[in-house]
Structure 1
Amino acid sequence: MLRIHFTGADLARTSVASRPDPLWETVLSLRMLQHRTGNPAADAWGRAVLARRPEGLRTLLPLVRPFGYFPDFLTPSDGSPDIEHGLDALAATPARHLRGDLAVLAAGGPLPAWTEDLAAGRPEALRGLAGALRGYHAAAVAPLEQTMRTTVRAEYAAQAKAAAESGIEGVLSGLGPGMRWRPPVLEVQYPVDQELHLNGRGLLLVPTLFRARTPVSLLDPELPPVLTYPARRTVSPDGSADRKLVPLIGRTRTEILHHTSEASRSTSELARLVGMSQASVSHHTAVLRAAGLISSARHRNSVLHTATSLGSLLLRG
């Protein structure tokens, strides 16, 4: 069990990420790749990735095992907007952190000889690791970028609504299976016992497309506190529905359909989520409504849009 201890200051500083973290998604996808999920779409994605033999995969698998610990330095907490920023942050990891993380990993099984250079912080080893992450990400994760962004945006919008209605404790109370808010402690089902005292730093909640068996945090309590958890959407990790829909109705309308399948959305809310003007969103919703994919109804001073049964079926591929 992981127990995360909050103070009043921590509640005020807790937030939800509004965009995918490329390195967290990369590492979690590596873990998913190594076991059956029971989800046909996710397992099909895994088979396709393994068939492609992406560059860097053999280097990364000893660091990200199917279960248990993986090094904290693989997921630097800098809010990286893209993979390159994340890799720059990884390359700046102090040697003492590299050495400490790899010592923890080695306790669970032997490591390849090249990790000795990594533990010493040698630049060529760090460059090799960055290259492996870059190559694997390009082949296995980057093709799902739009799906990841849509997924995390929808989760962020849902949590923003929960926070507006019930405060941050409302968010903590509804994070999903395996997590229970018992003020002032968030209890998380976890493979080991761990206590995390936030001490006024707050917690960054990071929704992810790729699902670990349990939510994941960092081991080092001195690092900025992070908790990843599966975004509560039914988007296939293989992105198959999006690949079929985008050529048919366009990327923006696909995004709007995703958002309206999660909850009824106002025009202004959709404009914020997809990053365009309300006038442009109104045009797209009119097209979707005419096709029978969404319905629209006036509520007070807003028009709320909701995916129809047909729209939801299309999203499921």
Structure 2
Amino acid sequence: MIRIEFAPADLLRLRFAHSPMAEVVASCLALRSRSARLVPASWRARAEPLLRDLTTLRPLVPGPTGYVPDFLTPAPPITRPTLEQELRVVAATPFDRAAAEVERAWAGHRAPPEVERFSIDPAGALAVTVREIRRYFSAAIAPSWPRLRALAEGELTRRGLLAAERGPRALLTDLHPRLDWDGGALRLAYDKDGEFGLDGHPLTLLPTGFTGPHVYTMTDTPSGRALWYAPGGHGRLWDPPVPVEPPEALAALLGPTRAAVLVLLARPSSTGEVAAALRLAPATASHHLTTLRDAGLVTGERDGRRLRYRRTGLGEQLVGEDRAPLDRSM
């Protein structure tokens, strides 16, 4: 059992974010795992050969000690960082820290030349690592990124509503089957034992689609304290999309097309994605999104070059969807 002790002020510093680098590392761990249930076979078949070709990234996630260098997953200071924002942080890792963490990952084992390079030429090794991450993300993660982001957005929305209704302690309630909040500490059910406090540092909670049944922690790093967990509904991450059927009452209130747009935004989507899903002209989709935004039912946020729309708390309440519990089968 691992216990993360909370002082009274720690709850006020609690943050949620969705990290591209957390998804990268968690997906690599899923590929290295022997469990066939973590990712679908079709995705594994596409991503596994790619990972084998990444001669610097692959031996680090994880190293033979089971440790993944923490500099690969900086705790994000904002809620929705882009991959490029996080890669700038990875690239700026102090050389001595990068070398020390890579050495820890390979302690007691003979490292390949690509790993040894971190102690000889850390600048060059970091540059190669960043290039490989960008290549891996583009081929393995980017096609699934809208789903991953939507899953995390749903979790952030639910947690925000819980905090508004029940207070900040509700942020830590029923996060994950392995996590238990006893009112003063977050307890993680794992084989090893440990106890630590946050010592004035914020704890960043990272809903991560590729985490599966696991919970990962960073408890004492220069980039902050973080905990990765699978958000509610992660078992449906790879399900095919279903037709959008708005409730009759909602369709009567907003009109059938506008109601369908609001229902569709259970997963944040761009104007083009809404148009394609509902077979609308882009101008028509844009008009409906603007109307819903002006009514306070959706909000638009930048995700890289795209503007994605998601439901606000008011929009969530208006749709009135039942929230499915966390799928514990994975």
TM-score (norm 1): 0.73
Which residue number in structure 2 is paired with residue 256 of structure 1? 265
SS in 2 for 1:149: helix
Q: CA deviation at 1:119?
A: 3.3
In structure 2, do the counterparts of structure 1 residues 303 and 126 end up closer, same or farther at CA, with 3 Å as the change threshold? closer
Alignment partner of 1:142 is 2:142: yes
Instruction: Trace 1:94-105 onto structure 2 (pairs within 5 A).
Output: 94-105=94-105
Return the offset for 1:92.
0.8
Unaligned 5+ residue runs, structure 2?
A: 245-256, 269-287, 299-313, 323-330
Counterpart Cα distance in 1 of 2:37 and 2:172:
26
Structure 1 pair 102/152, CA: closer, same or farther in 2 (3 Å)? same
Task: Show CA shifts across 1:72-98 (max 9, x none).
Answer: 011122447222221111111112211
Q: Kindly tell me: are residues 179 and 50 of structure 1, through their superposed partners in 2, closer, same or farther at Cα, counting changes over 3 Å?
A: same
Cross-structure match for 2:58: 61
Of 68, 71, 74, which aligns to 1:73? 71
Partner of 2:240: 241
Give the secondary-structure state (helix, strand or coil) at the position aligned to 2:111: coil
Equivalent pair of 1:60/1:132 in contact (CA under 8 Å) = yes
Name the SS of the counterpart of 1:57 in structure 2. Answer: coil
Give the distance between the partners of 1:69 and 1:235, measured in 2 at CA: 26
**Aligned equivalents of 1:70, 1:256: Cα separation in 2:** 35
**Aligned mates of 1:121, 1:2 — CA distance in 2:** 36
1:214 is aligned to 214
Number of residues of Structure 1 aligned to a counterpart in Structure 2: 270
Q: Secondary structure at the match of 1:4?
A: strand
C-alpha displacement of 1:108? 6.3
Native 8 Å contact 2:118 2:126 kept in 1: yes
Deviation at 1:210, TM superposition (A): 0.8
Q: Aligned with 1:228: secondary structure?
A: strand
Task: Report Cα offsets for 1:151-194 as digits up to 9, x if no partner.
Answer: 01100011111111222211212212000112311111235333
Query: Which position in structure 2 is the counterpart of 1:23?
Result: 21
Distance 1:99 1:195 in 2: 27
What is the DSSP-based 3-state SS (H/G/I as helix, E as strand, rest coil) of the residue aligned with 2:233? coil
Unaligned runs of 5+ in 1: 260-274, 286-299, 309-317
TM-score for both structures, normalised by structure 2: 0.70
1:90 counterpart letter in structure 2: V
Q: Secondary structure at the match of 1:102?
A: helix
CA contact (8 A) 1:21 1:79 kept: no
Cα deviation, residue 148, structure 1? 1.2
1:119/1:254 Cα in 2 relative to 1: closer, same or farther (>3 Å)?
Answer: farther
1:3–1:188 contact (8 Å) kept in structure 2: yes
- The question of 1:46 aligning with 2:44 is answered yes
What is the CA–CA distance in structure 2 between the aligned matches of 1:40 and 1:76, rounded to whole Å?
24
Task: State the distance in 2 between where 1:222 and 1:183 align.
Answer: 27
Q: Are 2:179 and 2:186, in contact at CA under 8 Å, matched by a contact in 1?
A: yes
Go from structure 1 to structure 2 and tell me whether the alpha carbon gap of 1:104 and 1:83 turns closer, same or farther (over 3 Å shift): same
Amino acid at match of 1:39: R
Q: Does 1:279 align with 2:277?
A: no
Call closer, same or farther: CA 1:120–1:46 in 2, change over 3 Å: same
Q: Displacement, 1:202?
A: 2.5
| SS in structure 2 of the partner of residue 59 of structure 1 | coil
Question: Percent identity at matched positions?
Answer: 28
